[in-house]
Chains A and B, each alone.
Chain A
Amino acid sequence: MELWNDMKLQINQQTYDVDVAEDTPLLWVIRDNLGLTGTKYGCGLAQCGACSVLVDGEVVRSCVMPAVSAVGKQITTIEAIEQDDVGKRVVQAWVNHQVPQCGYCQSGQVMAATALLKATPNPSRDEITAAISNLCRCGTYNAIDAAIDELAKPVGGNA
């Protein structure tokens, strides 16, 4: 496999130079090469969503994204999510609703919720269900729904 010496990745507004094979999953680069361990490894098959990060504002399961596909794009991980206005509100709602139990999937859940609210500021219940397919072994789904519901209400509205 070809080595990309000096692959440049833009993560959380910083440029990192990494030396990895081009098909290395982005998740390994984030966790192993760069030590940003807030993003979690769950299933490795894009099934659970624990490894979700934002790439150019869209939620991506980083375990199945070859690092080379992320070159030239803006990557955001849970470490920097509060620097984003929407992300900050999501984290606050998560705290308000005391969503996490064990917490392992929660960084991924926060990323998925943030991406949804960025694309669709006032999502309907169906849109929330369709967009958030992340798994949670503790079963915090009701709390997640409550937190997103709070954010989904139009500002100043009483829907």
Chain B
Amino acid sequence: MKKLTLSMLVIIVLVAVGAWYSTRIPSTPLADVNSSELNASELIAKGEYVARASDCVACHTLPDSPAFSGGLEMATPIGSIYSTNITPDKTHGIGHYTLADFERVVRQGVAPDGHRLYPAMPFPSYAKLSDDDVKALYAYFMHGVQPSDKPNKQSEIPWPLNMRWPLAFWSGLFTDSGSYQSNTEQDEQWNRGAYLVQGAGHCGSCHTPRGLAMQEKALDESSPQFLAGALLDGWYAPSLRNDVNTGIGRWSEEDVYQFLKNGRNQHAVVYGSMTDAYNNSTQFMSDEDLYAMAHYLKSLPGDPLRDGEPWQHKPTTVTASMAAQDAAAKTYLARCSSCHGTDGMGRGQYIPPLAGATSMLAKEDASAINVTLNGSGRIVSHGVPDAYRMPPFRQQLSDKEIAEVLSFIRTTWGNHGGAVKVQDVTELREKTDPASSQVIILQMR
């Protein structure tokens, strides 16, 4: 009897502690700051820059809707959730937030009423934002954004899966608390780059592989998994480490800078969700910050074991006589060669090469299939839409033709990504068809 009472007591205490832990409103280091004083125009302008670097627009703004009024649908296997209105509207937006409320949402994923945010909001990354940047961001959202009275949409996840308190344990396990701490062994530029890549830039949301609980396996360079490339939403987000094949091992810091500044360089052009990240975020960042990001990324070592044999260019020209013998070469000549060249070398920075392309070297072939089926999005660089864009071949090529031509590209010019299965093209065709019942709606941004 005594034993039973004791164990009952232990259980009750554990439940009580658990309940307190998972429903508490955590403390914030910014509790003592007077929110109403954060309205200086320089601070608002700085906040706008932080919002650009954080790409808040990507999820919180829909095309043809007021800026930051939310409503983006993100499908999860258990139902859809919607991004929220973060304009300063007092009823439907975040106009009633104090700085402390704002800090908890952005860096800790806890709303003012104590409910936990789904980590679709990249708060594990934003946790690294400095106090100063959080204050600036707050000033911008309170005073630099037009209020919108667009109501929020309710999440469609059914009870009991819609309970938020378990997310407190998720956060406890998978996030690091505290903003970015400078690494004293590295210089100022490296630290600035690390701060931007890990924090505002939340590059890891797409480029770091995720674990079973959908947590990013690493949040900084202490692990070789950080930014090591990940498959999500029908795209392969390549490694941002010095991997020769699947990463940026062959890129210089200048190449990385060009990619973030112009959306293109001699090696690659943005596609998939990176187009949004470029259109809304990286192109607006200062040269100094972009060079810092490039400097930091180029400091991350590659992993030859994961990355495989380094790509070696084997020049080949696809000719009519090759094409007469081989259906895949024929498709290449008719459909691909006009832009990417009979030699697979593309046209400078304007049309990317296929020889040595990450998507043709990675064993994950999702990006190669996806961009062939659906083309690339519109790149708007400094207000000017791109002149050259990958067209969609969804209507023109069959699954078999796409599999054949991609297998050809992935095994020519020294590329060693390997063959593409017809089945995988069929699947991705279905999943990226907006009319299908199993369409991927969430594009992690």
Contacts and interface: CB of A to CB of B under 8 A. Distances in A.
Interface string A98-116: 0000000000000000001
A25 B387 contact: yes
Contacts of A46: 338-339, 391
B387 A24 contact: yes
A64 B350 CA distance: 9
B214 interface: no
Nearest to A1: B384
Contact of A120 (B321, B329, B333, B391): B321
B96 interface: no
Given A1-B384, A133-B334, A64 B339 contact: yes
B419 interface: no
A141 to B, nearest CB: 14
A69 B324 contact: no
23 contacts: A23-B350, A25-B387, A45-B389, A46-B339, A58-B342, A64-B338, A64-B347, A64-B351, A64-B388, A65-B347, A66-B388, A119-B319, A120-B319, A120-B321, A126-B324, A127-B321, A127-B324, A128-B320, A130-B320, A130-B329, A130-B330, A130-B333, A131-B323
Contacts of A23: 350, 387-388
Max chain B Cβ within 10 angstroms of own Cβ: one of A46, A128, A130: A130
Contacts of A127: 320-321, 323-324
A23 B347 CA distance: 10
A133 B348 contact: no
B177 to A, nearest CB: 45
Nearest to B320: A131
A131 B163 CA distance: 61
Given A46-B338, A64-B338, A116-B320, A133 B387 contact: no
A60 B384 contact: no
A66 B348 contact: yes
Contacts of B388: 23, 25, 64, 66
Nearest to A64: B339
Contacts of B350: 23, 66, 69
Contacts of A126: 324-325
B348 A68 contact: yes
A15 interface: no
Nearest 3 CB-CB pairings of A with B:
A130-B323, A133-B334, A126-B324
Interface string B109-121: 0000000000000
A45 B392 CA distance: 10
A44 to B, nearest CB: 9
Give the most central of B319, B320, B347, B384: most A CB within 10 Å. Answer: B320
A42 interface: no
Contacts of A142: none
Interface in A122-154: 123-124, 126-131, 133
Interface in A27-82: 45-47, 58, 60-61, 64-66, 68-69
Interface residues of B, number: 23
Given A64-B351, A124-B324, 13 more contacts: A1-B384, A23-B387, A24-B387, A25-B387, A60-B338, A64-B347, A65-B347, A66-B350, A127-B321, A129-B324, A130-B320, A131-B320, A131-B333
A27 B320 CA distance: 24
Contacts of A66: 347-348, 350-351, 387-388
A119 B342 contact: no
Contact of B320 (A24, A61, A68, A123): A123
A58 B342 CA distance: 10
A96 B196 CA distance: 67
A119 to B, nearest CB: 7
A65 B333 CA distance: 16
Nearest to A134: B334
Interface string B292-324: 000000000000000000000000000111011
A45 B333 CA distance: 15
A40 to B, nearest CB: 15
A124 B335 CA distance: 21
A60 B384 CA distance: 25
A130 B338 CA distance: 13
Contacts of B339: 46, 61, 64
Nearest to B324: A126
B62 to A, nearest CB: 28
Interface in B322-361: 323-325, 329-330, 333-335, 338-339, 342, 347-348, 350-351
A56 B389 CA distance: 24
